[in-house]
Structures are given as structure tokens and as C-alpha cells.
Structure 1
Amino acid sequence: MESFERARLDAYFGKIGAQLAPAARPTCFMVTHLLSERPSFVQAVASVSRLRAVLPKPKSIDSAARREVERLVPCDSLSRELFGTPEAALDYLEARAAGESLVLLDVGGYFAPSLAALCERFSGSVLGVVEDTENGHRRYAGLADLACPVVSVARSPLKDPEDFLVGQSVVFSTEALLRGRGDIPSGRPALVVGFGKLGSSIARLLHAKGVHVTVFDIDPVRRAQALSQGFAVARDRETALAGAGLVLCATGALSLRGEDFPHLRNGAYVATVTSSEDELDLDGLPNVYSRADAGEHITRYQTTGHYFYLLNEGNAVNFLHGASVGPFIYLVQAEIVAGMHMLSRGDLAPGMHEVSATDRAAIAATWLNYFDR
């Protein structure tokens, strides 16, 4: 990022902070993809909170961005185990922020398994969570009894441009990896598993490249939507897998179980839009399969009479090429700041919440002033 671009971005976040800064400065912990543009957002969060630590998602860390962020705030190692049990989660938060009022910024529901215990037993108070992703939204919404408010930006209209452009980046990276070993998507029937915002974007982009696309989704409403847009729709997963030469998993949940992999067509490529732990049950793959490198970021799984290729070890394929969606990501990041503002007031009831239409409109207007040039 050039210096004038960084200056414009910092000015934008300064304006957003002035408009939507939390009513009181909460303590904050921040799970994030630590990509090249992220230091400005980290700085923006730090300017309106007491940011105790950034927890970068392990598969999406830009080394230069990490060095810059570490000059401002500690970067701690993130894993599902860190917040997977109440004891581990409490130990971590008590060591960093005992007795303080917390807002937890999440990407993927990391705090969900221990949230009830944190709200009950933490020496300070948990004001709430701001969640950025669909799979994280589902994790929190699926809890039997939410112990605090969760502001989700996952289904915001301000996220629609990001979702469409992430779909573009997934298709770009998938094609780049195939071309790296002398192959192309054309001529390979594609299966898109999941027809949400990301999956539908991927399906349309592949279709525009002349690829025959079939969609599989467990939701009958989404199957009807896919059919109305001209896509073939699979009635069952096994038949769909058997006919696909390229499989793109875009559910944000479990797309392929261990027993599904043997149904893959020989030589099929598999790619995902999120982490392998969310989309793929690789641990359930029959142990008769061996694995070997088959090109840069391509792994071949093989057993007698069957083989398939996994891109980027099953992790989000677009992070291999920066996963950039341009300035549209700043719309979502500003809405996260607005979510912090909502939680800092301390007047939200436990449950799922969204940023108001008024605040979204203000964010979009500010964004247009800075980036519609």
C-alpha cells in the first residue's frame, strides 16, 4: 500500500471512529485475518478501545503486517484449543485483562464454546461479541442460551460486495493452481457445495468462464434459487461428487465428510473458501489413502484405484494470493466498529443483534466519500 493510500485509509477510519466510537472505551481482544491492509483496521480498533491482543488466524498471516501490528499490540497464537474449554479461555483472559469490561471481536466463532463460562466466571464483565463470518454466526446462534449479546455483521448488506469479491478471488486462485500444473477448469464439470452468498458468486463466475456448474445445498430454498438461475442442482451428494472434476466447498460448515471422499471422481480437485477444520473432515478419510505433493500447494490423496487432489491443504485457497477484495473490506470493518459501539453502551439483551440501518447508511456514505474516486 502506497503512503497516500494508507493516509486516506487512516483518515477514513478516523472519521468512522469519530462517528461510531464506543460510548466508553472497552477492553478488546481481536481475532482477525492479518492480511496486508489489516494494520490500519487494528489501529482503528486500538483508537476506540483498550486493545489487549490481536489473535491472527493461523492460515492468513502476512508477515509484514504482523511486524507492524506487533509494534502496537501483542500478537498471540490462536487455536481452537485456546478458547475450546472454559478453563483455557478464562486463564487467557484473566492473564491479559483481569477485572476489565471486554468486547470480543471474532472471525469464526472461536469464543463460542466457552462464552457462557466467560460471562459467568470472568473477574470482569463480557459486554459481548462482534462476529464477522457466517460460520461464526451459526456457532453463536446455535448456542442453547446466549449469555451475552452478539452483534453479527455476517449477514449485513455492507458485506455483500466483500462476499462477491471473495468468490472472485477463490476462482482466481483455484484456476492459478490448476494452471501451475498444466491444467485448467474448462472441461471439468464443477460442483459448488453451498449456494449462499459465496457459493452463488463462485457458481456464477465459473459459469461465466464456460465451466458447467452443478450446485448442491441441503437447503431446499437455495436449491430452488440455484435452479432459477440456470444451474444444475444435485439431489444427493454422492452422485454429484462422482460427476465433478472440480469441487468448491462454500458452506462455512462441514461440506465433505470422511466417507464422501471415496465418491470423488478420479483426478478431481477440491478447494474450500474457509479453513479445512470447518469444511472438510479429513480425519475421517479412510486410512488406506496416502498423500504426496503433486505441485505447489497441491496434495494428491491416493489409494488403489482412486485418487484426488486437495488445494492448499484444504484451507481457503484465495489466501495463497492475498485474498484481496480492495477497499470494500473497509465497509465491513467500519460496521465492526459500530458493533463495538453498540456493545459498549451495555444496554443490549443477550441474543443475536445487528447494526442499525441508520449506522450502515452512515458508514456507506462515509466510505463513498473516501473511496468512490
Structure 2
Amino acid sequence: REGRLAFPAIAVNDARCKTWFDNYYGTGQSTVGAIMRATNLMVSGMKVVIVGYGWVGRGIARMLAALGAHVIVTEIDPIAGLLAIMDGFTLMKMDQAAGTGDLFITATASIDVIASPHFEKMKHNAILCNAGHFNREIDLISLEAMATKVETVRENITAYTLKDGREIHVIAHGALVNIAAADGHPVEIMDISFSLQALSAEYLTHHRSIPAGVHAVPESIDRMVADIKLETMGAALDLETEAQKEYRQKDLIV
């Protein structure tokens, strides 16, 4: 009632081993795989608009670019927008991108990022899906209100026919496309995330004095999971010398 946690919690999603791998590589691959499975369309040469360029959007963009798609990014954050350009992608406002894209993928964790003004500008047979959050990112209520006909045209694909005859296709009713229209992340990614969750839960049980509130995954756990994963992959790291450790840890006066 007071808006405060009465117990300690660990934010696994913020750990480097979660964000850098699950959100980036896992969602990138599973989202693109789900879209290809649901549509059976050629990605190469397609103009794909990615709404949001956080870790999820970046992972999806990377995978699509590798398949030959022309990636367009829309953003509200100047740093993320700059990063998209530096990564080699085109940055546009959504109003402009709406009339340009063949495929639209939301990755914002916000609501109504694709809405009525955008539907009005979209090409015939534009495809929409969500990879960011719950099914609020695409304003399907407005899209249905604009439609003269709504029908399932393929498994996991709903076509909305507008008054002018254009059709807009939505995959999996705007739910998380990689889960609703496919099998989610590969196990080679999920073992990292589940390890973080299990070890974080164990940490809480052995540290009863942690105050209520949200806490970061301990760095020791984050690094342990990465070490174990590297070992299973047959990879090895260099070790610092004592002189290197001393140099890195001492205070340097600039």
C-alpha cells in the first residue's frame, strides 16, 4: 500500500549476463526466427522498422541486418538514437517510418508506440509485431476500430482490412512474438539467465540481513555464471599478474 517492498529482491534483468546475452542475442535470434516462421517471407531487402533501440532492439537490428534487411530505427532517447546511427542504421521519426517500412517490430516496453496516425500511413500488407513487453505496444483497439474486416489469414497472423482496401497484418495479436509465435530463446541462452536466477535466490537465503528493496545481482555471481558458461564452451581466460592487479587497483592521480 505504501509503494515499498517489504522484502529484499534482486533485479536479475539488470545483470550483465542477462542483459548482454538474453536480451541482446536471445531476443534478437528468437524474434527474427519467430517472424520468419510465422510469415515465411524473405527478410533480405525488406525495410524493417524497429521501434526502440535498447538491448532488445539492438539485438534484433543486428540479426536482421545480417540477413540483408534495411533497418530503420525510431527512438525517443538521443543517446540510443545516436548509437543506432553509429551502428549503421537509419534513424527516423515514427511518422515518417510508418509509410516506409514493410515490417514493424516494437521493442520499447511502453504503450501505443504504433497507433492510429501510423496505421493511416502504412503500406498495403505491412506486418506488425511486438518483441518488447505486453501486448500494449501496438494500439490494436484503434486498429480494430479502423478496420472493416478482421480475419485470421495464416496461423498467428491476423489481417485488418482498412476502408481504402489496405491490409495490415499483426503477428500473434501483439503478444511477445518470440514466445507467442515460436519457442522462445535457445537453451544456450536461457541456461545463463536461469543460473543467475537460481544463484540470486540462493544468495538471498544465505544473506538474511539484506534490507528490503531492489538490489543488483552481486558482481561475484555475474562473473561466476560467465566463468561457468565459458568453461562449458571450452574457452579460457587470461589471468592478471599480481603486478597488473596492483596497478589496476591503486589510485592514480591524473
TM-score of the aligned structures, taking structure 1 as reference length: 0.56
Structure 2: where are the runs of 5+ without partners?
Answer: 236-254
> Superposed, which structure 2 residues align to 1:200-215 within 5 Å?
200-215=58-73
> Superposed, which structure 2 residues align to 1:118-267 within 5 Å?
145-159=4-18, 160-163=20-23, 164-179=25-40, 183-234=41-92, 236-254=93-111, 256-259=113-116, 260-267=118-125
Following TM superposition, by how much is the alpha carbon of 1:146 offset from its aligned partner in structure 2, in angstroms? Answer: 4.4
Following TM superposition, by how much is the alpha carbon of 1:209 offset from its aligned partner in structure 2, in angstroms? Answer: 1.5
> Superposed, which structure 2 residues align to 1:43-122 within 5 Å?
116=1
Tell me if structure 2 keeps the 8 A contact 1:249–1:272.
Answer: yes
Following TM superposition, by how much is the alpha carbon of 1:204 offset from its aligned partner in structure 2, in angstroms? Answer: 1.5
Q: Secondary structure of the residue that 1:321 maps to in structure 2? A: coil
Tell me if structure 2 keeps the 8 A contact 1:272–1:316.
Answer: yes
Partner of 1:351: 213
1:312 paired residue among 158, 172, 177: 172
How many Å separate the matches in 1 of 2:200 and 2:49?
36
Following TM superposition, by how much is the alpha carbon of 1:286 offset from its aligned partner in structure 2, in angstroms? Answer: 5.4
Following TM superposition, by how much is the alpha carbon of 1:224 offset from its aligned partner in structure 2, in angstroms? Answer: 0.6
Partner of 2:135: 277
Following TM superposition, by how much is the alpha carbon of 1:274 offset from its aligned partner in structure 2, in angstroms? Answer: 4.6
Tell me if structure 1 keeps the 8 A contact 2:32–2:64.
Answer: yes
1:292 paired residue among 142, 151, 159: 151
Following TM superposition, by how much is the alpha carbon of 1:299 offset from its aligned partner in structure 2, in angstroms? Answer: 0.7
Following TM superposition, by how much is the alpha carbon of 1:282 offset from its aligned partner in structure 2, in angstroms? Answer: 1.7
Partner of 1:322: 183
Q: Secondary structure of the residue that 2:191 maps to in structure 1? A: helix
Partner of 2:126: 268
How many Å separate the matches in 2 of 1:184 and 1:177?
12
Tell me if structure 2 keeps the 8 A contact 1:249–1:255.
Answer: no
Tell me if structure 2 keeps the 8 A contact 1:166–1:325.
Answer: no
Give the alignment's Cα RMSD to 1 decimal: 2.3
How many Å separate the matches in 1 of 2:177 and 2:79?
27
Task: Give the direction of change, closer, same or farther, for the CA distance of 1:149–1:338 in structure 2 (3 Å limit).
Answer: same
Q: Secondary structure of the residue that 1:292 maps to in structure 2? A: strand
Number of matched pairs: 228
Q: Secondary structure of the residue that 1:294 maps to in structure 2? A: strand
Partner amino acid, structure 2, of 1:283: I
Tell me if structure 1 keeps the 8 A contact 2:38–2:155.
Answer: yes
Following TM superposition, by how much is the alpha carbon of 1:356 offset from its aligned partner in structure 2, in angstroms? Answer: 1.2
- Identify the structure with bigger relative contact order (alpha carbons < 8 Å, sequence gap 6+): 2
Following TM superposition, by how much is the alpha carbon of 1:371 offset from its aligned partner in structure 2, in angstroms? Answer: 5.2
Instruction: Deviation per CA, 1:208-260: give whole Å up to 9, x if none.
Output: 222111101111110010011111001x2111111111101111232535424
Identity among equivalent positions (%) equals: 23
Task: Give the direction of change, closer, same or farther, for the CA distance of 1:188–1:364 in structure 2 (3 Å limit).
Answer: closer
Task: Give the direction of change, closer, same or farther, for the CA distance of 1:286–1:297 in structure 2 (3 Å limit).
Answer: closer
Following TM superposition, by how much is the alpha carbon of 1:285 offset from its aligned partner in structure 2, in angstroms? Answer: 3.1
**Farther-moved stretch of structure 1 (154-163 vs 292-301):** 154-163
Following TM superposition, by how much is the alpha carbon of 1:168 offset from its aligned partner in structure 2, in angstroms? Answer: 1.1
**Farther-moved stretch of structure 1 (362-371 vs 311-320):** 362-371
Following TM superposition, by how much is the alpha carbon of 1:176 offset from its aligned partner in structure 2, in angstroms? Answer: 2.5
Partner amino acid, structure 2, of 1:314: G
Structure 1: where are the runs of 5+ without partners?
Answer: 1-115, 118-143
TM-score of the aligned structures, taking structure 2 as reference length: 0.80
Task: Give the direction of change, closer, same or farther, for the CA distance of 1:248–1:156 in structure 2 (3 Å limit).
Answer: same
How many Å separate the matches in 1 of 2:216 and 2:80?
23
Tell me if structure 1 keeps the 8 A contact 2:107–2:133.
Answer: no
Tell me if structure 2 keeps the 8 A contact 1:187–1:211.
Answer: yes
